Amino acid sequence: MVARIRHFLLFAALGVVGTLMQYTVLVALVQGTGANPVLASTLGFLAGAVVNYMLARTIAFRSSKPHHEAATKFFLVAGVGLCLTALLMTGFIAGLGLPYLLAQVLTTGLVLFWHYAGNTLWTFREAKTA
């Protein structure tokens, strides 16, 4: 149990780097160009996903899976996370009237659990040897 918590915390800490990329894109697009916050969040999410893949593969999971296998699974998990992000951002902003940065923080915290579970149980799970 302690090892699982440590692993989750490592995954989350590494995810901060990708999240910083996401927030940078989000704020730059909203503040710099007046882009729609949901669209800006989605584009930021994609940029952050690339960073998170490399960190998760090399550091958090130390995976030896070929990129074509790991990346395909990672980005499918991320794709579901992207849909969750868009839905949550829309609900928090349009539905609840929250400011976009608060909505993004809440969304990030919630979607983190999806990413960890998907990547632990599927993307980087090593096949058991007989």
- Say if CB 72 and CB 57 are below 8 A apart: no
pLDDT tens-digit profile of 41-55? 889 988 998 899 999
Q: With respect to residue 130, please indicate whether it lies within any of the assigned structural domains.
A: no
Nearest CA among 93, 1, 4, 2 for reference residue 40: 93
pLDDT tens-digit profile of 64-99? 999 999 999 999 999 998 899 889 999 999 999 999
Q: With respect to residue 84, please indicate whether it lies within any of the assigned structural domains.
A: yes
Q: With respect to residue 129, please indicate whether it lies within any of the assigned structural domains.
A: no
Q: With respect to residue 99, please indicate whether it lies within any of the assigned structural domains.
A: yes
The number of domains in the chain is 1
pLDDT for the residue numbered 23: 87
Numbers of helices and strands, H then E, in the chain:
4, 0
Q: What range does the domain containing 18 cover?
A: 2-123
Q: With respect to residue 97, please indicate whether it lies within any of the assigned structural domains.
A: yes
Q: With respect to residue 17, please indicate whether it lies within any of the assigned structural domains.
A: yes
pLDDT for the residue numbered 129: 59
Q: Which residues of 28-53 are buried (b: 16+ CB within 10 A; e: fewer)?
A: ebbeeeebebbebbbbbbbebbebbb
